[in-house]
Structure 1
Amino acid sequence: MAVLPFVDVKPNGTVKAAVVWLHGLGDSGHGFAPIVPELRIPADAGIRFIFPHAPEQPVTVNGGMRMRAWYDIKTMDLTNRADEAGVRESAHAVQQLLDQLIADGLDSERIVLAGFSQGGVIALHLLARLPYKLAGVMALSTYMCAPDKLAAEATASNKSIPVFFGHGTQDPVVPVAAGQQAFHALKKQGFQVSWHDYRMEHSVCAQEVADISSFLQRLFMTAKEN
């Protein structure tokens, strides 16, 4: 499988870190790219933002319409919403992209994996299963695929890294309880999760953008100074 195509937002100067940010259903890498200047991260942080495009596929709940999706959704019932085989296939493709960044010379501990909605499902799946350590993970308005397999499949590689959960309390697409379920499942397995909720629906708000900026600066700017 070829490495996923992506929107590449490079910093001025040397690349010192990277954020790989996965979009939601029906969106593309272009959807979140405009958030970079809104984060107001100092230029000397040297953060490269990579926004991969999910492949196009028919989505059952949308009448079989083809759109960019990390996996098929056969039902809106959260227990069976994520097509597990599709999640694993996309997780493999995203891991290939991470592997390529590392092969190109970027330390894995200078990479943050982020995902919104469907993209967050992939990010959480990889958080628990990657063989190497990342800098952190951001799970935005999302839930977990196959939480019943977490205990058996989780590696220890990323149990010590910070995991930022952000969710809207009025989310009609992914209920806040689904995000909390994923949060508690990871916490039970020893992951370092933090919870942030916002008065919003299935979206991103200004306060969340500010909190994400602080999260990234804490990870990358502090590490730079040590």
Structure 2
Amino acid sequence: MSGADPHADQPIRTAGVSPEDADAAVVLVHGRGARADGMLHLAQEFAREGVHYVAPQAQRGTWYPNRFLASIEANQPHLDSALVHLDRAVEAAQSGGLPAEKVLLVGFSQGACLVSHFVARDPKRYGGLTLLSGGLIGEEGTAFDFTGDVGGMPFFLGVSDDDPHIPMSRAEGTVAVFEELNADVRFDRYHGRGHGIFTEEIEYLGDVLDDVVDE
């Protein structure tokens, strides 16, 4: 670890079949204060045969120090380091030769914010992007000027109207950005559920993973 690259020596946990034997891969990005192993445990709830699971670990369990609604600069150098580490995880998911279209990206909370930023800044057609209570990173009033085309990539964002961490306005703004990037968007707004991962989302993950495996 270095001050300029705090996540450099953090592990990437894996489960499922080997990359060489995989029909699809899922990259799972944990939230603040959590562990990669916890995301692999979550994956057991929607696991399918023939899938390689990859979960990067953040240094001290935190991808960046301040809220995702802080300025980009306020979360450096951790944010850039986290994006590089996530890129390593995606490379690991594809190490057996899978194309991006066979890789599903999933993030919860801080991890959802990170993975949304990762895809928006370098848009391509992954097998899917699933944000469990998250949104694009940047202070209020940020003009998101991402350009590109994700080619109809399945995109899911789920958030509750009383989530103490993710304002509905940012969730709506994130959905608008991915619509502009040509994603196939599903936006689930829940009422009175707080901050968490919900049954409908696990069901959705199973369905979209089936599609990625079968493509």
Q: Which bin holds the TM-score, normalised by the shorter protein? A: 0.7 to 0.9
Aligned-partner residue type, residue 78 of structure 1: L
Compute the TM-score of the two structures, normalised by the length of structure 2. 0.81
Give the structure, 1 or 2, with the largest relative contact order (CA under 8 Å, sep 6 or more): 2
117 and 33 in structure 1: CA distance in 2 versus 1, 3 angstrom threshold: same
For normalisation by structure 1, the TM-score amounts to 0.77
1:63 maps to none
Name which of 138, 143, 146 aligns with 2:135: 143
**Partner residue in 2 for 1:15:** 22
- Aligned with residue 155 of structure 1, among 145, 148, 154: 148
Deviations, residues 117-160 of structure 1 (Å, cap 9, x unaligned): 11111111121233653211111100211384642x4333x242
CA RMSD in angstroms comes to 2.7
Match of 1:38 among 41, 45, 70: 45
Structure 1 counterpart of 2:35? 28
Gaps of 5+ in 2: none
Q: Is the 8 A contact 1:4 1:97 kept in 2?
A: no
Deviation digits for residues 18-67 of structure 1, max 9, x if unmatched? Answer: 1001000000112222222322x442xx11121211112xxxxxxxxxxx
Gap runs ≥5 in structure 1 = 57-67
In the comparison of the two structures, how many residue pairs are matched?
Answer: 204
Distance 1:132 1:14 in 2: 24
1:212 Cα shift? Answer: 1.9
Q: Which residue of structure 1 lines up, in the alignment, with residue 210 of structure 2? A: 217
Residues 87-146 of structure 1, C-alpha deviation per residue, up to 9 Å, x if partnerless? 232112211222243344222221111111111111111212336532111111002113
Alpha-carbon distance between aligned partners in 1 of 2:128 and 2:9, rounded to the nearest angstrom: 22
Does 1:48 pair with 2:52? Answer: yes
Deviation at 1:10, TM superposition (A): 0.8
| Identical pairs, percent | 22
Of 110, 115, 122, the match for 1:118: 110
